[in-house]
Each structure stands twice: as C-alpha cells, then as structure tokens.
A and B are shown apart, each in its own frame.
Chain A
Amino acid sequence: MPRIINFAQAINEAFVQAMEIDKNVICYGLGVDDPKGVFGTTIGLQTKYGKERVFDIPASENAMTGIAIGASMAGIRPVMTHQRLDFSLLSLDQIINNAAKFHYMFGGQHKIPITIRMIVGRGWGQGPTHSQNLQALFAHIPGLKVVMPTTPYDAKGLLLSSIFDDNPVIFIEHRWLHNMEGDVPENDYRIEIGKSSQINEGNDITIVSMSYMTVEAIHAVEILKDHDINCDLIDLRSVKPIDWSSIHKSIKKTGRLLVLDTGVTEGSIAGEIIANVCENCWNDLKEQPHRICLPGTPTPTSYSLTKAYYKRSETIINTVSKMMNKDLDGYVLVDRKDLPHDVPGDWFKGPF
C-alpha cells in the first residue's frame, strides 16, 4: 500500500533518518528551528537532536559555509539550509574557492561531505532576488554535485544520498514542490546522484526536464498522448553530474530532443544538454533540438509580466506539436480552471 506524504515531509524524514544513522550529521541555517521550520522541512529536529546539532545561525552566509567546510574536514556532515538560493550567493567564495576544490587541490587528502540546501521558486511576485534558479552556475564548477529532486520519493532518497556523499552537494528544492504528495517508503533508501528517472516512455520525442518543470511536463505529456504523440520523459534529478547515457539512449530511440529548464536560457543546463547531444548523437537526430527556459531577463515581479515570463504545459505542448508537424494549441487543450498563473495550487497563499 502506498504511503502518501508531501515533499517537505519527505525532506524532514530524510533529516531524521540521517541524524539517527550518524551523530556527525548536523543541521543549521537561518530559521531552521523557528516555528515554521523552513516550510516544514526542519520541524521538530531541534527537539529530537538538541541545540548542538540543530541550530539557528547569524546572518553570515559566507563564514557559515566555510565553517561547514572546516567541520567536514574533521568528519562532521553539515547540512546548511538557505530559505532562498539567492542568499547563498553571499557564500560563493567558500563554495567555489574552497568546498569545490579542496579534494582536488590537496591531492585527494580532504573530503568535504557537506550538503547545501537552496530553495528556488517562481510566481507570487518573488521577483528578481527571491526566486533565481541558478543551478547552471553551480553545475559549472568542477567538484560540486548539484541535484534537483522533483518527487517526494526523490527528495528523500536524494537528500540521504547527498548527506552521506563525501563531496559537496548543492541540493536545490523548488518551493512549488513542497506540498506535492507522493508515495514515500518509510525505510532508509538512497537514490544515486547522477541517475535520472524515466517518468514516461514513448517513441516520438525525448523531453528532458528538471524540478518543477517536470510537473508541467507530466500534464503536457498526458494531453499529447491523447493526440497520439508519445513522449520519453526523463527527469534529470541530478544536473551535475548528468545522466548522459540515459539521454543518449532515449535520443537513439526518438531522434527528437526538447529540454525544459527552470533557469534562464543563456548558459543553461538545457544548453549544455543540447550541445552534448549534438556532439554525441548528431546522426540520430531527426531535427534540431529545442529548449524551453526562462527569458534572459531578471525575474520581474509584476503579475502582468510574470504571465509572459514563466513557461507552462501550454508552451510545452505547442513546441512538441511544432516539432512533430502537428497543429495542437496548448492554450485550448490545457484546462487551468480559474487558478492564477503565479501560484501552484490553492495551498499556496503567499507571501512566502
């Protein structure tokens, strides 16, 4: 029988299990012990594991990242949480100059087993500095691993894997996924970092997606199926390293590639995937690959501008339709009811 819990609860459960397994796992970040517990993900941890292992911190992102690195050099496994990815930008020095390089730069003598949770989002006017999806920035740095779970199942299994990985892992959670529900086994299980998940099988086109965009893709794929277009939908789960063999295998089967990305177009993970497929699967491609990303602007705040800014199932359907020489109109086919475009569902009331 399935055991249904939401994404935030799955994160919380991974924390509990990791802290039970290993007393060296510690959890800190601004507000991890406050009444809201970072969208519910860290609720109850301090009561269970004490103030030495679970604690609130000064607003000192860079030093607190360096402190995680230093502690990890002595075998501690710190998990640091940023309520917004944007706040972590204050710590790029420690992440890029130290965490990412210490293993290589010291000839393999240091392990840096740290996990840095960063929450990204979209909508509700989160705007230019409260919702940036900068996974590509981190994926660009040799020595970092970057994961973006979509389902509650993946959230738990990937967080456990990240915490017990001996390398720095950037763990990116999409705010619009925290209330998504799914089947999550109670036991300790791990999802290998670097392995994608096949969400749907089809022979016509490969859709490679990540994080919240996979939810939009799932809706699109169902509607496309009703119109005889069968999609291979691959959810990346890890954007560094990327599961190239699964992508290449799918391209050999379908000959078509559409990549969905929650970040902006230029310098995106989507661009990297298209480049790699062109380099490695050129002869398998039946036509040019496409990508759906955000426009290359800072994220606007206004309700009217975000409508054009964010991409949804409608755009996916229209792009796939064009690639398949069909004439489908996503805006007609997708029934949004009266839900505004800037919220994921009725549960999300803003402002946070």
Chain B
Amino acid sequence: MVHSIKDANKMSNLHQTSTSVLKEIYTKLFKIRTVEETIAKKYTEWEMRCPTHLSTGQEGIAAGVCQALLKDDYVLSTHRSHAHYLAKGGDLNKMIAEIYGKESGCSKGRGGSMHLIDKNVGFMGSTSIVGGTIPLAAGLALSSQLKKESKIACVFFGDAATEEGVFFETINFAAVKNLPILFICENNLYSVYSPLECRQPVNRKIFEMVNGIGIPSVAGNGNDALETYYKSKKFVDEIRNGDGPRFIELSTYRWREHCGPFFDNDIGYRSETEFESWKLRDPLLNFENQLIKIKKIPQEVIDTVKTEIKREVIEAFQFADESPFPDVSELYSNIYSGDTN
C-alpha cells in the first residue's frame, strides 16, 4: 500500500530499475551484513587482533553509491571501511585474512581492518585518521584530470570528518579546480560517543554548508540503497560529464559500538528507543521486503544469493585461518619502495 509521495517515488524507483541492478544492490547489502555479523560473532575468539569498526546498519550507502560507480573509478574510505571495500568489489578472502593479520591479507597483514586496499577494483585504500583520505581522493581526481581520463574519484567519510580542516581545504580546492570527485558524507549522528549536536550547530545542514562553498550538494536517506543509488548516479553522470565536484550527505545509523563486536546502548550515550527506531529502518530487510513485494526477483533467486554469500563468507574465514602469518624476517621490508632487503 502506498501511503505518501515518498512511498510512491520509492515504488516507482523500484519498478523502473532493472532486475540486474536490483539484484546487484541486494547482493552487496546482504554480503556486507553477513560479513559484518560473522566478524562480530567470531571477534570474541580474540584472533582478529586489530581495532575493527563494523558497518552493520550502514550498508545502504556503500551499496547504493558503489552501484553507481564503474570498476575503474577510485574509492577511498575511513576506519569503518568494510562496507565500502565490499561494495566496490574488494576481494573478500583478502579482507578477512587482513583482519586476521595474515600474509595473504589485502595489505599483507600490515594494515588490519582500518587499512584495506584492492587496487584491482579501484579501492585505493582506507585509513584511520578522520578526514585523512579526503584530500587523497582529490589528488586522484586531479591525476585523472591531468591525464584526461574519464575515471572519477569517490570518497566516503563520516559527519565528524566535516569538522576537520582538511575537509574544508579539500572541498575548496576541488571547487577551484573543478575536480571529478564525489564526496559522500555518511551522517550516523555520532563520532565515537560524541553526538552531532555537541559538534555542529543544530540547524545547520552539512550539505547546505557545502553548497555554500560552491559544490552542488543534496541530502538523502542512506538507509534506502535505491534512493542512494539514484542520487549518486545523477551526480556521477554530471561529474563524468566534466561538471565538477558533487557532494551527498546521507543519513544512517551505526548499530553496534563504535569499535568492536558488541552493542553499547546500555552505557548511556544514546537510547535504546533511538536505536530501535533506526533498526526499523534496516537497509537490508526493507530492501528485501520491497523486492519480494514487487515480485521482480523471485524468492528462489534471493535464496540462492543468500546461500552463495553464506558459503563465500565461510570460505573466506577458512582461507584466513589456513593462511600463514607474515614471517618475522619481513619486518623491515617495504619501508621504502625499491628496497632490496
């Protein structure tokens, strides 16, 4: 049943979208959720010995944005990078092995959960310093512009990153140079435990501020992967057309604690009621229900996707488990490029 214009738009989006795109978005959402929840379950075996920030609840943004990008487009990410890495097509085995500190990991165990990379799919890296990868994406966009390539750069960051000086410096330069870059702000309302209202003026919207700096910007519901996809797609087309940088602020919510496998609504920085209200906006479950409702993808196809991904995830953990650790003799390798030791 359609209750509002918003719902009507949603249904029309669903109907006009090809089944292959819908299936791909669903696959991304389900994969991210399954990987994150498996990590959460296994984390207390204490064999993933690195700070790990789970994306559960925030899958919609990664899935929607990355669906709008091409394989060669650059993506950079944050400490909470699993969703972006997986949505861009990053190798799952190498990601899990990385979190376990194994030589077969995507960064050979040198980076851990916060430093993922898969250059084969344009995922150029994630780092742990808030705002740290924003200028790197602009640098990649500059390289694309200098070489007259059609690749664009896309960078994911949280609401707190927009409080960093480097964010303002970068969006200003991107506007000056008309760089081919898409800025994606995931506003999940908290920076660790610090709520947004302590950090930014209550009535000021991030995307409106960025508009004021000279970059066309919109806001959207990040828990709606399809809405996110269409908003991203429009901007990606404009950027690739040479129209310059674009910015999207997407609302979402982190289900689990800032860092680690647990829930932490009991410690007092946010309420159980708030958490429950966001859980109702589950980006995966709502998308799946809609797919079933419009009957564009048969239930058995959805079931096959689920079975397939569950198998991939089991295999990835096996791969990580069976992989060797880096040899201690390699400690000094790769300090410099061109090292012979």
Contacts and interface: CB of A to CB of B under 8 A. Distances in A.
A94 B132 contact: yes
B146 interface: yes
Contacts of A165: 338
A110 interface: yes
Interface stretch (A4-12, A57-65, A123-131, A295-303): A57-65
B217 interface: no
A273 B330 CA distance: 26
Interface string A61-78: 011111111111111100
Indicate the member of A53, A63, A98, A110 with the most B CB atoms within 10 Å. A63
A267 interface: no
B334 interface: yes
Interface stretch (A99-107, A308-316, A343-351): A99-107
Contacts, number: 147
A60 B108 contact: no
A145 B335 CA distance: 11
A105 B110 contact: yes
B107 A109 contact: yes
Contact of B135 (A94, A105, A109): A94
B119 interface: yes
A66 B336 contact: no
Interface in B134-176: 134-144, 146-147, 153, 165-166, 169-170, 172-173, 176
B142 A70 contact: yes
Contacts of A106: 107, 110-111, 115, 117, 125
B127 interface: yes
A111 B337 contact: yes
A331 B144 CA distance: 59
Which 5 pairs show the lowest CB-CB distances between chains A and B? A70-B139, A66-B135, A107-B108, A63-B169, A60-B169
B111 A57 contact: no
Given A67-B173, A70-B140, A74-B140, 17 more contacts: A62-B166, A66-B138, A66-B166, A67-B170, A73-B143, A76-B139, A76-B142, A76-B143, A97-B132, A98-B129, A106-B115, A106-B125, A107-B110, A109-B117, A112-B337, A166-B338, A167-B338
B165 A62 contact: yes
Contact of A167 (B137, B144, B173, B336): B336
A107 B173 contact: no
B144 A74 contact: yes
**How big is the A interface, by class?**
35 or more
B236 interface: no
A337 to B, nearest CB: 46
B124 interface: yes
Contacts of A69: 135-136, 139
A34 B142 CA distance: 22
A93 to B, nearest CB: 6
B13 interface: no
Q: Main secondary structure on chain B at its contact with chain A?
A: mixed
Contacts of A53: 146
A52 interface: yes
Given A143-B335, A166-B338, A167-B338, A67 B142 contact: yes
B286 interface: no
Interface string B312-334: 00000000000000000000011
A166 B337 contact: yes
Nearest to A142: B335
B110 A73 contact: no
B169 A70 contact: no
16 contacts: A52-B146, A57-B173, A58-B176, A64-B135, A65-B135, A66-B170, A70-B139, A72-B139, A73-B139, A76-B142, A76-B143, A97-B127, A104-B110, A108-B337, A110-B125, A112-B337
Contacts of A102: 125
A26 interface: yes
Contacts of A73: 124-125, 136, 139-140, 143
A108 to B, nearest CB: 4
A70 B176 contact: no
A68 B139 contact: yes
A165 B115 CA distance: 24
Contacts of A58: 169, 172-173, 176
Interface in B280-323: none
Interface in A139-197: 142-143, 145, 165-167
Contacts of A74: 74, 139-140, 143-144, 147
A109 B337 CA distance: 9
Contacts of B76: 70
A147 to B, nearest CB: 14
Given A66-B132, A98-B127, A104 B139 contact: no
